[in-house]
A and B are shown apart, each in its own frame.
Chain A
Amino acid sequence: MYIQTKYRIGTGITILMGMLLLLSVHLISKEIRYNLNAETQALTISERLAEMQALSADYIAYPRERIIRQWAADIASLKTVLLKARQDKYIDLQVLQKLEDQLDVMDGFMRRLVEVKAGGATSNDAKFYNRTVEAIAGRLREEVRLTFDISLNLAHDHRVAVTDYIDQTRYFYSSLIILMLLMAILASIWVGKTILAPINNLRKQTHLITRGHLGRRINSDTKDEIGLLSKDFDIMTDNLQRTMISRDELEATVLDRTREMKTAKDLAEKASESKTRFLSGMSHELRTPLNAVLGFAQILEMHEGLDEMSRDSVNEILGAGRHLLSLIDDVLDITRIDQDRIAFEISDVSVSGTVNTAVNFLVDTANIKGVMVESRIDQALFVRTDVVRFKQVMINIISNAIKYNKKGGWVKIYSEKAAAGMVDICVADSGEGIPEEMYEKVLEPFERHSSDPYSVEGLGIGLAIVKRLVDVMGGELSFVSSLGKGSTFRVRLKLAE
């Protein structure tokens, strides 16, 4: 049975008992009131009869006309009272009839007494007269007394009825209160067993489940709301337990993978470190003889006696040496950045100045390639950065834009306002563009995005260096590209204040 149904039944019983209680109060108070009213009427009759008792005694002793008149008035008055009392259904009609009969008997004796007394004056037999008067008076006294006793008994009967009602009421209410108490106790036991105990069990099991005892279940066999709740709770706990088991398994797997990845990462980092050390060491080792080669080549170049062919060879040595030195410098740069060994000197740097220097540095390359380089940078634009590394960034980006361009192509350098306090320096080209699959790789070192990696000079670390330098300088590098149409690289730096 649902708790709601139990609640309704309980409410119904309470209301019913309340109504019964009210009804009983009404009926009992009505009975008591009517009996008290009847008692009052009976006592009124008794009072009149007591008065008549005194009147009859007076008349027997001192017969007076006024007593006879008073007697007649009392008889008439009492008959009226009795007639009125007949309207009261609570007064025993037989008793009222008896009283009326008694009144007639009393009145008869009184009239006889008056008659005898009236004739007494002429009676010659005084003894007979006295005996007759005495006999009638005696009977009158007896009957008046008897009538008085009847009225007293009537009053008493109603008083007893009232007392009985009060006793019965006390007994009834005592029993009712006890019954209600008993019902309250039974209801309490019932509620305890059917509602509180399952709730308590639910609370206890829930407490244990929240403490991690996922194997606990409510196992309620009641068919009420708590039973349904318990069943749902058990189902929920089943699901939770299954989820927890899956989570544990997942966590174990993740831990294994993490461990494996960490191992792999450690290995990779070690490999990278070894690679960096190797590159750094090798670059330093290459740079020394290369500087010697370049130095001697420059000395040779300054020699005036060289023939045309030798001069061309020296120039070839110088070109190749410088290119090689540039590559070695790039490798050294990226290894320094990776090893956090690069130093920056941040200051307010003119963007147009830096860009123009870079363009001038690359103008020959652009001319050879047949690419037009155009710079439109506001001369008042300054950024907070390291001037050397900013220039290196711009050279690398513009250099790439020229390298990966086509003959007759163009490179446009301009600036755009970015978010608050930032500016974008953009380098757009009309080159071949970057394939989409290369978007993620293009900023990684030694990755080339050209369809023919060997058609363009370089190791493929220019953009990687740019990306690292911009990041270290607190800026951001991004690009958009359209295959066959060109790319736009965007360097976002902090504006000078």
Chain B
Amino acid sequence: MKTLYALLFPLVLLSACTDKQEEKPFKGSTSIAVSETPLSAPIFIASKMGYFSKYGLDVRLERFNGGHKCLKAVLDGKTEYGTTSDYPIMINSFKRSDYEVLATFVSSDNDVKLMADRRKNITSPVDIKGKRIGVITGGSSHYFLDRFLLFNNMKLEDVVIQHISPENMPAALFSGEVDAIAVWEPFGYLAHEKLGKDMVIFQAKDYYRETFNLVGMKKTIKENKEVTIRIIKALQEAEDYIQSSPKEAQQVIVNELKLDKQFIEWIWNDFNFKISLEQSLLLTLENEARWAIENKIIEGQGIPDYLEYVNPEPIKDVGKGLSNIMR
């Protein structure tokens, strides 16, 4: 018996000395409105690879065509969480303040592109002056086009803006309904597929940096902080998987979104998968808000305080260095 105690003693000591925190058993269910874009890759991979389940979450994914629709689903209470780009966050910030950004899980400075039909004698930025350009008015493509024109010494009035829904953009460009389009992926790729050599893509990587974010209602997050933390942990693991196994991660997205593998290869390097919640997002939102007011996209008196629209607490609970926002 003494020998048994002598052998057990070090093991007890070992368990006391190691402070490795084991994941507590947890059972929870939630829903995420996810945009059907490769930007949502971490969400799809977390679901497909079982990272949500690993953290005790039963996650129902509701798919939408665009981040703005996902945010709407959240705001309408159809899902508890959603994925959206920064632009819809800015737009809605003028109407309500009961939602908040929890994390940015990807950014891209080349998701929204300006693509033109070479057959319309467009080969350089200045050639688009006076041309018909398809945009989603009031959306990020509109914002991007304005930035593009400004940086090339033009203004929105120098072109003819034509509202076209994103899914119709490739066809509109191919049919000649418009001379150029400002659209996000995968519609840019589809347009490129249609036009082939006749497609001109303008290098405008630095004009607009788009982020894709996890959002939720403040009330829901307050009541389900543990669920939020676990979603972020699952997304963090998904991003580790993307970094360590990019080919496999791409294959997951190809399968999930029924996309062409070549398309994924086309856009993948533009994505910067890193979960964080940075001050730069606030600046992006402020810039967008300033533009939206100037261009009367929204009717607002002043720029909202976007510090009220971010909640760094859950992500800081996952890792203190993941956010430098102080609230």
**Measuring CB to CB, which residues of chain A are less than 8 angstroms from any residue of chain B?**
105, 108-109, 112, 128, 131-132, 134-136, 138-139, 141-143, 145-146, 148-149, 152-153, 156-157, 159-160, 167, 170-171, 174-175, 177-179, 181-182, 185-186, 188-189
List, in ascending order, chain B residues with CB within 8 A of A149's CB: 276, 278-280, 324
A-B contact pairs, 15 of them (CB 8 A): A108-B206, A112-B151, A128-B155, A135-B147, A138-B283, A139-B147, A141-B287, A143-B206, A146-B209, A149-B278, A149-B280, A156-B320, A157-B321, A160-B321, A182-B11
State whether A136 touches B151 (Cβ < 8 A). yes
State whether A138 touches B151 (Cβ < 8 A). no
State whether B18 touches A174 (Cβ < 8 A). yes
State whether B324 touches A105 (Cβ < 8 A). no
State whether B294 touches A131 (Cβ < 8 A). yes
Which secondary structure dominates where chain B touches chain A?
A: helix
Flag whether B162 is at the interface (Cβ < 8 A): no
Rounded to whole Å, the gap between the CB of A171 and the closest CB of chain B is: 5
State whether A175 touches B14 (Cβ < 8 A). yes
Question: With the chains together, A188 CA to B3 CA distance in Å?
Answer: 10
List, in ascending order, chain A residues with CB within 8 A of B146's CB: 135
Contact of A156 with B321 at beta-carbon distance under 8 Å, contacts A112-B151, A135-B147 already known: yes
State whether B10 touches A142 (Cβ < 8 A). no
List, in ascending order, chain A residues with CB within 8 A of B147's CB: 135, 139
State whether A189 touches B3 (Cβ < 8 A). yes
Question: With the chains together, A112 CA to B274 CA distance in Å?
Answer: 29
Taking CB as reference atom, which chain A residue is nearest B279? A145
Contact of A153 with B17 at beta-carbon distance under 8 Å, contacts A109-B206, A131-B155, A142-B209 already known: no
Contact of A139 with B207 at beta-carbon distance under 8 Å, contacts A112-B151, A131-B294, A134-B290 already known: yes
List, in ascending order, chain B residues with CB within 8 A of A136's CB: 150-151
Rounded to whole Å, the gap between the CB of B277 and the closest CB of chain A is: 10
Flag whether B13 is at the interface (Cβ < 8 A): yes
Rounded to whole Å, the gap between the CB of B281 and the closest CB of chain A is: 9
Taking CB as reference atom, which chain A residue is nearest B18? A171
Flag whether B284 is at the interface (Cβ < 8 A): yes
Rounded to whole Å, the gap between the CB of B29 and the closest CB of chain A is: 31
Flag whether B24 is at the interface (Cβ < 8 A): no
Flag whether B6 is at the interface (Cβ < 8 A): yes
Taking CB as reference atom, which chain B residue is nearest A182? B10
State whether B287 touches A138 (Cβ < 8 A). yes
Flag whether B20 is at the interface (Cβ < 8 A): yes
Question: With the chains together, A67 CA to B75 CA distance in Å?
Answer: 45
Question: With the chains together, A107 CA to B274 CA distance in Å?
Answer: 24
List, in ascending order, chain A residues with CB within 8 A of B17's CB: 170-171, 174-175, 177-178
List, in ascending order, chain A residues with CB within 8 A of B286's CB: 138
List, in ascending order, chain A residues with CB within 8 A of B207's CB: 139
State whether A138 touches B321 (Cβ < 8 A). no
List, in ascending order, chain B residues with CB within 8 A of A157's CB: 321
Among candidates A109, A145, A178, residue contacting B283 with C-beta atoms closer than 8 Å? A145
Question: With the chains together, A139 CA to B286 CA distance in Å?
Answer: 11
Question: With the chains together, A141 CA to B283 CA distance in Å?
Answer: 7
State whether B7 touches A182 (Cβ < 8 A). yes
State whether A135 touches B150 (Cβ < 8 A). yes
Q: A-facing mask of B1-19, CB < 8 A → 1, else 0?
A: 0010011011101100111
Question: With the chains together, A179 CA to B209 CA distance in Å?
Answer: 53
Question: With the chains together, A160 CA to B320 CA distance in Å?
Answer: 9
State whether A135 touches B151 (Cβ < 8 A). yes
State whether A174 touches B14 (Cβ < 8 A). yes
Rounded to whole Å, the gap between the CB of A333 and the closest CB of chain B is: 89
Taking CB as reference atom, which chain B residue is nearest A188? B6
Rounded to whole Å, the gap between the CB of B18 and the closest CB of chain A is: 5
State whether A139 touches B20 (Cβ < 8 A). no
Question: With the chains together, A344 CA to B283 CA distance in Å?
Answer: 145
Taking CB as reference atom, which chain B residue is nearest A155? B321
Rounded to whole Å, the gap between the CB of B195 and the closest CB of chain A is: 29
Question: With the chains together, A138 CA to B320 CA distance in Å?
Answer: 28
Interface pairs A-B: 7 shortest CB-CB: A156-B321, A174-B17, A138-B287, A146-B280, A145-B280, A149-B278, A178-B14
Q: A-facing mask of B81-96, CB < 8 A → 1, else 0?
A: 0000000000000000
State whether A142 touches B13 (Cβ < 8 A). no
Taking CB as reference atom, which chain A residue is nearest B13? A178
List, in ascending order, chain A residues with CB within 8 A of B274's CB: 153
Rounded to whole Å, the gap between the CB of A139 and the closest CB of chain B is: 7
State whether A105 touches B155 (Cβ < 8 A). no
